[in-house]
């Protein structure tokens, strides 16, 4: 399935692979199934008969799936927008005991997939176990945002609504009981770390870019070009193609850009 990495789609070859895969799906092991699903989704080739066969075969050998296999399958089905609850439930169960095998990208892609497919019930236990783990595996003390910006944003954006809802429910319960049992909430801690490792450096570079633009307009010079190059280099280095709607609204407001109709959560 190396063809998926090239971005090419030779239709006769892909169709031949699909037919052959369907015929021999019972021979596929966990890696074969996960990689085939990943490859077809990377090509945006939604072959539903093959996808459903992969789901059925994967459920039969679910205990054989590695963290990477589970991530690839969940990501592929989310990318296809194929709602196969039995498979996603089957992935969620062994994912918890194997969670320490997940790296930052695995964690981010998995929660992103469950969030996109709105499988919140299956997502909640995974979030509870993965929040602290994510920070441990994503943080590189020697380099802020070293190539993991997209994992940060995918992870936090996916878990934020779930954590926010849980904390609102806890706050309401504490009000009713006139008590408080938790001083540090997971969402606040996670967003504090996101600010330190991702949003803070983004804000600093965007502010520099905005200031250099104003200065260039007033007195001329090439400061704007240097600031723009710094911003572009950082985006590539840190792998931050987007911030997500919520954090885009917040960050852009800091440099004087107001987006209409911000999200409510």
How do residues 100-158 score in pLDDT, each as one tens digit? Answer: 999 888 999 999 999 999 998 888 899 988 888 888 887 655 444 456 788 888 999 99
* pLDDT (0 to 100) of residue 236: 86
Number of alpha carbons in the 13 Å side-chain half-sphere of residue 25: 22
DSSP 169-198: HHHHHHHHHT----SS-HHHHHHHHHIIII
* pLDDT (0 to 100) of residue 43: 81
Between 146 and 37, where is the model more confident? 37
Rounded to whole angstroms, how far apart are CA atoms 155 and 240?
A: 13
**221 falls in which pLDDT band (50, 70, 90)?**
low
Shortest CA distance to 159 belongs to which of 122, 118, 124? 124
Checking phi first, is residue 239 left (phi over 0); if not, alpha (psi -120 to 50) or beta?
left
Mean local confidence (pLDDT), 215-238: 77
Alpha helices in 81-146 (DSSP H): 85-95, 104-116, 120-138
* pLDDT (0 to 100) of residue 132: 82
Mean local confidence (pLDDT), 180-207: 81
pLDDT higher than threshold 50 for residue 6? no
SS3 236: helix
- Spatial neighbors of 85 by CB under 8 A, at least 6 apart, are 119
* pLDDT (0 to 100) of residue 214: 73
CB of 67 closer than 8 Å to CB of 98: yes
- Spatial neighbors of 198 by CB under 8 A, at least 6 apart, are 145, 149, 152, 153, 238, 240
Query: What is the DSSP secondary structure assignment for residue 199, as one 8-state letter?
Result: I
* pLDDT (0 to 100) of residue 216: 66
**pTM higher than 0.85, yes or no?**
no
**183 falls in which pLDDT band (50, 70, 90)?**
low
> What tens digit of pLDDT does each residue of 49-90 get?
999 999 999 999 998 999 999 999 999 999 989 999 999 999
Rounded to whole angstroms, how far apart are CA atoms 62 and 55?
A: 10
* pLDDT (0 to 100) of residue 180: 59
């Amino acid at each position: 399935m190396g063809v998926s990495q090239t971005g090419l789609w030779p239709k006769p070859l892909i169709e031949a692979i699909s037919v052959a895969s369907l015929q021999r799906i019972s021979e596929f092991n966990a890696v074969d199934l996960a990689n085939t699903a990943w490859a077809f989704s990377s090509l945006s080739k939604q072959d539903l008969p093959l996808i459903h066969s992969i789901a059925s075969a994967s459920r039969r050998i679910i205990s054989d799936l590695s963290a990477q296999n589970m991530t690839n399958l969940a990501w592929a089905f989310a990318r296809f927008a194929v709602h196969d609850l039995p498979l996603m439930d089957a992935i969620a169960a062994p994912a918890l005991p194997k969670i320490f095998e997940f790296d930052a990208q695995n964690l981010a892609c998995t929660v992103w997939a469950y969030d996109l497919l709105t499988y919140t019930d299956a997502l909640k236990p995974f979030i509870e176990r993965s929040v602290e783990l994510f920070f441990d595996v994503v943080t590189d003390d020697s380099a802020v945002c070293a190539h993991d910006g997209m994992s940060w944003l995918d992870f936090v954006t996916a878990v934020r609504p779930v954590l926010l809802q849980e904390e609102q429910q806890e706050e309401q319960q504490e009000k009713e009981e006139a008590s408080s049992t938790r001083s540090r909430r997971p969402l606040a801690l996670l967003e504090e770390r996101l600010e330190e490792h991702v949003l803070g450096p983004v804000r600093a570079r965007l502010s520099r870019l905005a200031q250099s633009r104003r200065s260039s307009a007033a007195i001329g010079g090439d400061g704007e070009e240097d600031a723009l190059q710094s911003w572009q280099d950082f985006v590539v280095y840190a792998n931050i193609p987007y911030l997500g709607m919520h954090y885009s609204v917040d960050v852009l407001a800091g440099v004087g850009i107001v987006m209409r109709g911000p999200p409510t959560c």
